[in-house]
Structure 1
Amino acid sequence: MRILVAGATGAMGRQLVPLLVRAGHEVHGMTRSESKQAFLRGLGATPVVADALDPEQVARAVAESRPEVVVHQLTAIGPMDLRHFDRAFAPTNRLRTEGTDHLLSASRAAGVRRFVAQSFFAGYDRVGGGVKTEADPFGTAPPPGMEQTVGAIRHVEDSVLGASWTQGLVLRYGGFYGPHTSLGVGGEQTDAVRRGRFPVVGNGGGVWSFVHIADAAEATVAAIERGAPGVYNIVDDEPARVATWLPVLAESLGARAPMRVPRLVGRLLAGETGTVMMTELRGASNAKAKQALGWAPRHATWRDGFRELGTRAAAESGAAA
């Protein structure tokens, strides 16, 4: 198939593009940076330069690529600031609203038959059990400080699933870890845990779902090639409470056990948004993706992935010493 990947040089694109090329697809990688064209060619893709926030550039990129499938992986995630979450995610929120609209409009004009878009598991409503399926309420009661971010995610989902002229698929990824993510070697979250700056807030009862970036890319290929329209949770097999996974991550990185702070102190350190994520977040089940896509994560649990991360971090630290 002829596939256009928007956001082809991000953490997901770096994994996804080579997989699609190896699978025999003709891949066009969209980037806004002229300087990244050589990098995309090295991955095996044909580079297409366009600013996702410019509708004319997007229309031209899609028209020239003539894709059968468009894959929307546009993000612009900078340093994490849980106290001002929506402000930190403002550039990505624009890509998830305006950028999505531009891609869909151009795709409709070009007759794109399948549109696959990135979403995120953390939008599940914080009621009921700790692990959610795709049928559970999503995005109707965002945590304080995440209203704009969750609203932008809902915009992606509603727009893609509501596009009757194409086959729309939405992938609710778990928290990424691995190369070029904030929870990779040298990543922002990794560094915070190693420095003891990532505490367990309150009872640490928030349930998180993770997925290794390489496993997420393999699931995306499966969705592109054989997924029926709809929503899929792309997460590993073990949703876990913060109080469970954070100490394991710290130990894997050779760091001291994370501090435990009361919820009130957590609000001062991480704001209300961070406190809610630590104490109330709901995880996600991957049962539908495994059955419908024939996919299973190679890193079945974050426990294996975090040990691998720790080993690589130690090796790189030793090499740099």
Structure 2
Amino acid sequence: MNIFVAGATGALGKATIPLLIASGHQVYALSHSEKNTAVIRQLGAEPITADLFDRASLTRVLEATNATAIVHLATKIPPTARMGKVESWQENDHIRRDGTRTLADAALAVGVQTFVYPSFYYVYPDRGAQWIDALSTPVQSHVIQQATIDAEAEVARFTQEKRKGIVLRMGNLYGPDVPSALEQFQMAQKGFAALPGPGDAYLSYIWLEDAARAIVIALAEAPAGVYDIVDDEPLTRDAFVSALAHSVGKRHLLRIPNAVMKFLAGAAADMTNRSQRVSNRRFQELTTWRPTVSHARQGWTLIAEEKHVSERMASYA
């Protein structure tokens, strides 16, 4: 399969491209700079220059590469300190909403048959301790997540044209190659946990490599639709903090008060405080995918076992 990837140089792209190549696919990746081109070549893919927001440019590229599938991983997540400001998400919204629409238009104009888009589980409402998934739970719009919902609609439009559109609603990505996870780990080493939401509210996470494998397997095995890519056992925030503390050799972490976290979260406060106990059951029923890291207790222990965590963090600075 010839696969066109947008967003190849992010953490998820770097984890996914080698797996695609190892599965026998020919991978072409969108590049915007010489630095990106070098990274893409190092990953084993062929760098391609095009404009994500120009249908004609993308159509030419998809035709030239004879692409049969698109994997749209491109994002521009703002720094943690600015996530609560709506204006900080404008570039990311542009990529998600407009970039997805332009990619779908170009794909429909040529022979692309499959479109995979990793979405985010924050589109779900608060459901307390209730298990939720794409089949049972409608999305709840939020100013910071609306662009992702709009992008999902573009994938659905692609499917309506008798193609295969796949949305993978990912949990929070974590692992030793995810900068935000390393930030959490280093803060825990200092005795603190910054985690918005009530202690009994659920979080859904997914190990980076498990997320990447889900993309590769979805291309080959999943029917068109929306699926949840999370670990097997979402933890409450209290259990999550306990697991994080254990991984750094501490009995407890000082959790920043939720009132302070809400203030810092700004416009994102309502979204980040939700309890979302998401189930991966349907994706496991329809494919051979199984998470190798079942829950955050296991994941944080694995991160702690990684050597040179501080050096890894410095490399992302």
TM-score in same-fold range (> 0.5): yes
Q: Aligned-pair distance for 1:310?
A: 1.2
Select 1:287's aligned residue among 281, 288, 291.
Answer: 281
Instruction: Spell out, residue by residue over 1:218-274, the C-alpha distance to the aligned partner (whole angstroms, 9 max, x if none).
Output: 111110011100011011101111111022113313467332455434433444634
Match of 1:140 in 2: 140
Counterpart AA for 1:225: A
Q: Aligned-pair distance for 1:183?
A: 3.7
Task: In structure 2, list runs of 5 or more residues that go unmatched.
Answer: none
Say whether the 8 Å CA contact 1:115–1:167 is kept in structure 2. yes
**Higher mean displacement: 263-272 or 133-142:** 263-272
Select 1:155's aligned residue among 150, 162, 166.
Answer: 150
Tell me if 1:28 matches 2:37.
Answer: no
Q: Distance in 2 between matches of 1:286 and 1:204?
A: 23
**Higher mean displacement: 93-102 or 261-270:** 261-270
Q: Aligned-pair distance for 1:71?
A: 0.7
Q: Distance in 2 between matches of 1:222 and 1:98?
A: 26
Say whether the 8 Å CA contact 1:134–1:233 is kept in structure 2. yes
Match of 1:304 in 2: 298
Tell me if 1:218 matches 2:213.
Answer: yes
Match of 2:3 in 1: 3
Q: Distance in 1 between matches of 2:145 and 2:63?
A: 30
Match of 2:175 in 1: 178
Counterpart AA for 1:292: L
Say whether the 8 Å CA contact 1:195–1:255 is kept in structure 2. no
Of all paired residues, the percent bearing the same amino acid is 31
Match of 2:121 in 1: 121
Q: Distance in 1 between matches of 2:40 and 2:196?
A: 41
Say whether the 8 Å CA contact 1:78–1:88 is kept in structure 2. yes
Which SS does the other structure have where 1:84 is aligned?
Answer: coil
Q: Aligned-pair distance for 1:180?
A: 3.3
Q: Distance in 2 between matches of 1:38 and 1:97?
A: 28
Counterpart AA for 1:215: D
Select 2:184's aligned residue among 189, 214, 224.
Answer: 189
Q: Distance in 2 between matches of 1:156 and 1:30?
A: 18
Counterpart AA for 1:178: G
Q: 1:276 to 1:140 in 2, by over 3 A?
A: closer
Q: Distance in 2 between matches of 1:319 and 1:221?
A: 26
Q: Distance in 2 between matches of 1:188 and 1:262?
A: 18
Which SS does the other structure have where 2:104 is aligned?
Answer: helix
Q: 1:258 to 1:66 in 2, by over 3 A?
A: same
Match of 2:224 in 1: 229
Tell me if 1:205 matches 2:175.
Answer: no
Counterpart AA for 1:210: Y
Q: Distance in 2 between matches of 1:104 and 1:57?
A: 13
Q: Distance in 2 between matches of 1:296 and 1:125?
A: 25
**Higher mean displacement: 196-205 or 33-42:** 196-205
Q: 1:297 to 1:127 in 2, by over 3 A?
A: closer
Q: 1:89 to 1:246 in 2, by over 3 A?
A: farther
TM-score (norm 1): 0.87
Q: Aligned-pair distance for 1:37?
A: 1.8
Q: 1:248 to 1:66 in 2, by over 3 A?
A: same
Match of 2:263 in 1: 268
Counterpart AA for 1:308: L
- What is the count of residue pairs matched by the alignment? 311
Q: Aligned-pair distance for 1:303?
A: 1.3
**Higher mean displacement: 40-49 or 256-265:** 256-265
TM-score (norm 2): 0.88
Q: 1:171 to 1:201 in 2, by over 3 A?
A: closer
Q: Aligned-pair distance for 1:191?
A: 3.3
**Higher mean displacement: 161-170 or 66-75:** 161-170
Tell me if 1:253 matches 2:228.
Answer: no
Q: 1:65 to 1:83 in 2, by over 3 A?
A: closer
